[in-house]
Structure 1
Amino acid sequence: MPEDEFHRYEIDDGVLIVSPPPGAAHQVAVLELANIVQKPARTAGLGVVPAVEVVTHRRDDWLKVPDLVVVTLDAFESEPQEYEAADVVLAVEISGNRQSRNRDFGEKLEAYAEAGIPHYWIAELVPVPRLTVFEPADGTYREVVASEEPVKLTRPFAVEIDPARLRRTRGR
């Protein structure tokens, strides 16, 4: 992909998808979520990386840039330019509008399941903050929880996430 700070590039079934860079609310949500999961992930022997390319050796026509990934510690410490999907334990997408929501609950859900990523979360910012958690089931994902309230998770590590914390509010 070309060096371009103004666009995000992904490849899906050989189709190049070009997106504008995420807005401020999106970036704040990524930063907040990274802060929430950093310590529990590290305790579980995992590393947290925002907005990095993920590829799969099984397909040359597949490249994704999840908003946040949690990877094995070996992969994290090797500081690669891109991560192999097999090293990704959790992929997270932040949805801030209808178009991103449709992609995150549609093609990305299918693509991450096909690549064998064991955990997938979608954090929606509008109309209200909501976290949806998926785990593998027969080659696809099944929804484990979808909540606007705080959620306690045990996989892939123990963490409590309040979706409301992912949305910037005045006075916080």
Structure 2
Amino acid sequence: MIRHRFSAEDFHRMAEAGILGEDDRVELIRGEVVELSPVGKRHAYVVNTLVDLLSPLRDRAVLSVQNPLALFPDTEVYPDLALLRPPRTRYRDRLPEAKDALLVVEVAETSLDHDLKVKLPLYAQAGIPEVWVVDLEGKRVLLHRKPEGGGYREVEALGPGARLAFGGVEVPAEELL
């Protein structure tokens, strides 16, 4: 079997040509178009909760919800939430890239394996400084800091009663779980 690998440019041309529709839930992972799981009600609730709780940072970061983040020439992902370097006008004519991301959050209702085994190593390789994976089934938030190679040197699992913090804003873990 021969596989054809796509670049991000190819990926965008497929969307412009109508091969990929606006409502298709897909990402480009190392040249392959990968279908994403549908968004469930718990997942949607947690993403909205994150936006509410992290909104005090909006004067210091751009809150980007389920929008593209270019990691490599052959990889474009759609994290559930990304906090990006301001100002937002820098993204008027280009997609945000890994170097722009301050924090990435993935909410895993049915996608934990994909988030941890596929996306997390890509985030580390791209140098994303901090990633939170909200594991809804396991009732925990996995914090990943200090990227090195294909992983993170600091990993911490937080459950109900714990508090996450970013940029001086605290988020009670139970609000997400």
Unaligned runs of 5+ in 2: 1-14
TM-score, with length taken from structure 2? 0.79
Q: Could you tell me which residue of structure 2 aligns to residue 95 of structure 1?
A: 108
Contact 1:131 1:148 in 2 (8 A): yes
Task: Assess if the C-alpha contact under 8 Å between 1:152 and 1:158 holds in 2.
Answer: no
- What is the match of residue 109 of structure 1? 120
Q: Relative to 1, partners in 2 of residues 1:83 and 1:112: Cα closer, same or farther, differing over 3 Å?
A: same
Encode CA deviations 1:76-125: one digit per residue, 9 max, x unaligned: 2334363111111111100112xx10011111110001111111000111
What percentage of aligned pairs have identical amino acids?
27
Alignment of 1:34-45 (within 5 A): 34-39=51-56, 41-42=57-58, 45=60
> What residue number does 2:97 align with?
84
Root-mean-square deviation (CA, aligned residues, Å) is: 2.0
Match of 2:30 among 7, 10, 13: 13
Alignment of 1:52 onto 2:52: no
Give the gaps of 5 or more residues in structure 1.
Answer: 168-172
Displacement after TM superposition at 1:153 (Å): 4.3
- CA distance in structure 2 between the aligned counterparts of 1:96 and 1:148, rounded to whole angstroms: 16
- The AA in structure 2 aligned to 1:27 is A
Alpha-carbon separation, structure 1, partners of 2:62 and 2:85: 6
Aligned residue pair count: 157
Tell me the equivalent position of 1:170.
none
SS of match in other structure, 2:47? helix
Q: Distance in 1 between matches of 2:36 and 2:165?
A: 33
Q: Which moved more, 1:146-155 or 1:29-38?
A: 146-155
- Counterpart check, 1:61 vs 2:71: no
Shift, 1:127, TM fit:
4.1
TM-score, scaled to structure 1 = 0.81
Q: Which has the higher contact order (CA 8 A, sep 6+)?
A: 1
Query: CA shift at 1:51, angstroms?
Result: 0.2
Is the 8 Å Cα contact of residues 150 and 160 (structure 1) preserved in structure 2?
no
Aligned partner of residue 73 in structure 1, secondary structure: coil
Larger Rg: 2
Q: Are the equivalent residues in 2 in contact too, given 1:38–1:47 (CA < 8 A)? A: no
Cα distance, 1:150–1:36 mapped onto 2, change above 3 Å: farther
Q: CA deviation at 1:154?
A: 4.8
